């Protein structure tokens, strides 16, 4: 990269919940972005960008496809996970896929001379007996950091925004069930973050050289249990809900039940539900000084997400979707 010239950016996962939003954010900041997606025809952009993005087909499980995607790129965002599917017999397959995907990416990045990489993974400490999903997110971070590119690793708990898997599970459950019997893990502490703030951090790191080659916990302004988060959702929507944690729960049966009630497939519900037992709270706060921003509180984040569900992406937020009283 020439001195002072803007970095050439590769966005993996550009069709995902975070990736697509980050594309609009980077575009608004004036960057030109190359999107890597498995199926270019599926990249559906709800409203136009300032600069037409370059779109390349690339699959992290197909090493040959990565050479083209990384050619001439200085900085890459890694916003990919492999959870999914409806068959719970396959529920552990994502760990190996994510391992292979990260290794393929590091090999291709080393060959192409990538200098910087920014990855968004999950909060949770190995010492807390973390779930396979969270453990896999940490492993991917380690693999990505083992390459020649300097890796910035951001770790987040559940992200509150329209279309996010965790948020959608909560939305459908609270909207549809007046009484909820949940595993006792709903009392685990977590530090959810608004999707707007995740974008602030992802984009902010690009402009903050001090964040290069380091790991940061990112979180919203409140530490609260999942039960409290669901109660906040109910309050925002003006709904009366009873949320009760019970000691005995069959994970497989409840996963199928949640997948029935919500649009999220069981291959995502199961690993996320297993992760609820792990506290997901920021253990360090260095990012707050390095990338200063206004943190959005959870009721406002829920309200923003509901307004987007109602009005469509990128539309001005109306308060009509919410029943917040001052």
Ligand X SMILES: NC(=O)c1ccc[n+]([C@@H]2O[C@H](COP(=O)([O-])OP(=O)(O)OC[C@H]3O[C@@H](n4cnc5c(N)ncnc54)[C@H](OP(=O)(O)O)[C@@H]3O)[C@@H](O)[C@H]2O)c1
Q: Which residues contact 155 (CB under 8 A, 6 or more apart)?
A: 120, 121, 122, 123, 124, 137, 141, 215, 216, 217, 218
The one segment of 35-43, 141-149, 254-262, 309-317 that binds ligand X by CB under 6 A: 35-43
How many positions of this chain bind ligand X (CB under 6 A)? 28
State the DSSP string of 247-300.
S---HHHHHHHHHHHSSS-HHHHHHHHHHTTS-B--S--HHHHHS---PPPHHH
- Nearest Cα to Cα of residue 33 among 4, 5, 64, 6: 6
The one segment of 47-55, 74-82, 239-247, 284-292 that binds ligand X by CB under 6 A: 74-82
Among positions 80, 194, 258, 295, the unique one binding ligand X when judged by CB under 6 A: 80
Task: Give, for 234, the enclosing helix (H) or strand (E).
Answer: helix 226-237
Q: Does the footprint of ligand X cover residue 141 (CB under 6 A)?
A: no
Q: Which residues contact 93 (CB under 8 A, 6 or more apart)?
A: 82, 85
Q: Does the footprint of ligand X cover residue 66 (CB under 6 A)?
A: no
Q: With respect to ligand X, which residue has the nearer C-beta, 164 or 267?
A: 164
Q: Does the footprint of ligand X cover residue 101 (CB under 6 A)?
A: yes
Q: With respect to ligand X, which residue has the nearer C-beta, 153 or 321?
A: 153
Environment class of 17 (CB within 10 Å of its CB; exposed 0-12, middle 13-18, buried 19+): buried
Among positions 33, 35, 55, 79, the unique one binding ligand X when judged by CB under 6 A: 79
Q: How far apart are CA 16 and CA 25, in angstroms?
A: 14
Among positions 137, 171, 232, 237, the unique one binding ligand X when judged by CB under 6 A: 137
Tell which positions 156-185 bind ligand X, by CB under 6 A: 156, 158-159, 164-166
Q: With respect to ligand X, which residue has the nearer C-beta, 101 or 305?
A: 101
Q: With respect to ligand X, which residue has the nearer C-beta, 65 or 254?
A: 65
Among positions 37, 102, 109, 306, the unique one binding ligand X when judged by CB under 6 A: 37
Q: With respect to ligand X, which residue has the nearer C-beta, 83 or 243?
A: 83
Q: Does the footprint of ligand X cover residue 82 (CB under 6 A)?
A: yes
Shortest distance (Å) from residue 255 CB to ligand X:
17
Q: With respect to ligand X, which residue has the nearer C-beta, 142 or 318?
A: 142
Q: How far apart are CA 133 and CA 146, in angstroms?
A: 20
Which residue in the shown chain puts its C-beta closest to ligand X?
Answer: 16
Q: Does the footprint of ligand X cover residue 279 (CB under 6 A)?
A: no
Shortest distance (Å) from residue 307 CB to ligand X:
18
Q: How far apart are CA 100 and CA 106, in angstroms?
A: 10
The one segment of 73-81, 246-254, 284-292, 307-315 that binds ligand X by CB under 6 A: 73-81
Q: Does the footprint of ligand X cover residue 59 (CB under 6 A)?
A: yes
3-state secondary structure 168-215: HHHHHHHHHCCEEEEEHHHHCEECCEEHHHHHHHHHHHHCCHHHCCCE
The one segment of 117-125, 199-207, 249-257, 310-318 that binds ligand X by CB under 6 A: 117-125
Contact 267, 161 (CB under 8 A): no
Q: Which residues contact 102 (CB under 8 A, 6 or more apart)?
A: 60, 78, 139, 140, 143, 144
Which position has the token pair 């997606």?
Answer: 37
Binding site for ligand X (CB under 6 A): 12-13, 15-19, 37-39, 59-61, 79-82, 101, 120-122, 137, 156, 158-159, 164-166
């Amino acid at each position: 990269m020439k001195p002072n010239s803007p970095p050439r950016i590769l966005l993996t996962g550009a069709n995902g919940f975070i990736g697509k939003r980050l594309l609009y954010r980077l575009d608004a900041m004036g960057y030109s972005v190359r999107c890597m997606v498995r199926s270019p025809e599926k990249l559906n952009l709800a409203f136009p960008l300032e600069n037409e993005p370059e779109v390349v087909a690339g699959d992290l499980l197909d090493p040959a496809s990565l050479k083209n995607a990384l050619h001439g790129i200085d900085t890459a965002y890694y916003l990919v996970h492999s959870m999914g599917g409806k068959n719970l017999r396959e529920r552990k397959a994502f760990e190996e896929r994510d391992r292979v995907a990260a290794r393929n990416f590091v090999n291709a990045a080393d060959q192409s001379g990538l200098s910087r990489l920014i990855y968004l993974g999950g909060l949770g400490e190995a010492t807390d007996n973390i779930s396979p999903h969270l453990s896999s997110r940490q492993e991917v971070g380690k693999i990505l950091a083992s390459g020649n590119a300097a890796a910035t690793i951001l770790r987040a708990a559940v992200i509150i925004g329209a279309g996010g898997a965790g948020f959608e599970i909560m939305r459908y459950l609270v909207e549809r069930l007046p009484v909820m019997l949940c595993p006792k893990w709903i009392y685990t502490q977590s530090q959810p973050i608004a999707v707007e703030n995740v974008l602030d951090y992802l984009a902010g790191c690009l402009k903050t050289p001090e964040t290069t080659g380091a790991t940061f916990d990112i979180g919203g302004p409140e530490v609260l249990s999942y039960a409290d988060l669901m109660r906040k959702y109910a309050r925002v929507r003006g709904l009366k809900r009873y949320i009760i944690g019970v000691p005995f729960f069959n994970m497989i049966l409840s996963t199928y039940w949640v997948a029935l009630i919500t649009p999220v497939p069981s291959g995502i519900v199961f690993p996320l539900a297993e992760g609820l037992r792990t506290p997901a709270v920021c253990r360090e706060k260095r990012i707050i000084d390095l990338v200063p921003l206004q943190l959005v509180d959870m009721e406002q984040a829920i309200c923003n997400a509901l307004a987007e569900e109602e009005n469509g992406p990128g539309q001005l937020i109306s308060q009509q979707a919410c029943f917040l009283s001052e």
